[in-house]
């Protein structure tokens, strides 16, 4: 039975089926497409990815090797692990534990120069450098040599300009921990160094040593010009102005120069009319 318009519909259906078959055949014959990759999935080089130098102490990374070396110097001076037996400090916990084994042990290694005993042979050899005067550790920046490697590392901070030890009271920074601790005595007013002869206290050990020369009568500083001896180096240097004719202390009012500061202060009375040394009591 013929239905009007069915021929056109049949023709359209056959053409559509043929087109679909051709498209499927073309997909099968064409090479497979590569999968698209999003730009967001690509690795991006960031500043942190360029930091290839990692510190083994704190795991911080640096892009420049020089910065890593500076950080290592800080770690070398920081010693958080304290021996509970003798108080000696170490940067590594394992080294402190190894050190503790020396307490209570025999010390079979004796220094042939001063008879001091050591439990470890390497420590005795290191100690002997004091007697021999040998300084095997050389600063790569200026060539200065040192007996101990730790002293050389501390010295190198002069070249790097690094001052890792900060005073908690005023914020001043120091290259050496010992210098910072000595400086803090200014804030605390503590004078731990006591003269055994008279009981006078001093903040600095060096000042105590100079003071003790008063009691012993020792005068180790000799003038190279006339042979006169002095207990303090500063006094000898001031005395030498007599021979050299140098007058380093200048009056700020008239420009007249003096060998000793006390003479300049006395002279300034002419200008100011004040007597700073007078006792009004």
Per-residue pLDDT of the chain (281 residues; tens, 9 = 90+): 444 554 454 455 555 555 555 555 555 555 555 555 444 444 444 444 456 777 766 667 777 777 777 766 666 556 777 888 888 877 778 888 878 877 776 778 889 888 888 877 888 888 888 888 888 889 998 999 988 888 888 888 888 888 888 888 898 888 888 888 888 888 888 888 888 889 888 888 888 888 888 888 888 888 999 999 988 888 888 888 889 888 888 888 899 998 888 888 889 888 888 765 444 43
Integer angstrom CA distances of residue 220 from 60, 223, 239, 244:
51, 10, 14, 21
**Taking the C-alpha atoms of 161, 167, 169 and 170 in order, what is their torsion angle to the nearest 10 degrees?**
-20
Burial class (CB in 10 A: 0-12, 13-18, 19+), 156: buried
What span, in angstroms and rounded, lies between the C-alpha atoms of 183 and 171? Answer: 11
DSSP assignment of 138-189, as one string?
A: E-TTT--EESSHHHHHHHHHHHHT---EE-TTT--EESSHHHHHHHHHHHH-
Measured at the alpha carbon of residue 144, what is the angle toward residues 141 and 146, in degrees to the nearest 5?
Answer: 120
- Label residues 171-181 b or e (16+ Cβ within 10 Å = b): eeebbbeeebe
Complete domains list, the chain, with CATH: 193-272 (3.30.160.60)
Residue with tokens 């958080």: 80
Structure tokens at 207: 């000042």
């Amino acid at each position: 039975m013929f239905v009007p318009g069915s021929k056109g519909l049949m023709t359209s259906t056959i053409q559509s089926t043929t087109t679909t078959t051709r498209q499927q055949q073309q997909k099968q014959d064409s090479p497979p497409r590569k999968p698209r990759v999003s730009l967001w999935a690509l690795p991006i080089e960031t500043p942190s990815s360029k930091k290839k130098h990692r510190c083994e102490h704190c795991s911080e990374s640096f892009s420049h090797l020089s910065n890593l070396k500076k950080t290592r110097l800080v770690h070398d001076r920081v010693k958080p692990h304290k021996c509970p037996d003798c108080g000696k400090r170490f940067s590594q916990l394992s080294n402190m534990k190894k050190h503790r084994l020396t307490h209570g042990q025999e010390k079979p290694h004796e220094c042939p120069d001063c008879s001091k005993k050591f439990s470890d042979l390497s420590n005795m050899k290191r100690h002997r450098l004091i007697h021999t005067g040998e300084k095997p550790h050389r600063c790569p920046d200026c060539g200065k040599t040192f007996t101990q490697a730790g002293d050389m590392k501390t010295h190198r901070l002069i070249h790097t300009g690094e001052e890792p030890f900060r005073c908690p009271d005023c914020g001043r920074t120091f290259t050496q921990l010992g210098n910072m601790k000595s400086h803090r005595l200014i804030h605390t007013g503590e004078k731990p160094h006591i003269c055994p002869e008279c009981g006078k206290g001093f903040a600095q050990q060096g000042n105590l040593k100079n003071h003790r020369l008063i009691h012993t009568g020792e005068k180790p500083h000799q003038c190279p010009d006339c042979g006169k001896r002095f207990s303090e180096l500063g006094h000898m240097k001031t005395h030498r102005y007599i021979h050299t004719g140098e007058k380093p202390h200048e009056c700020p009012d008239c420009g007249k120069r003096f060998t000793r500061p006390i003479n300049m202060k006395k002279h300034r009375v002419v200008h100011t009319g004040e007597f700073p040394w007078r006792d009004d009591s």
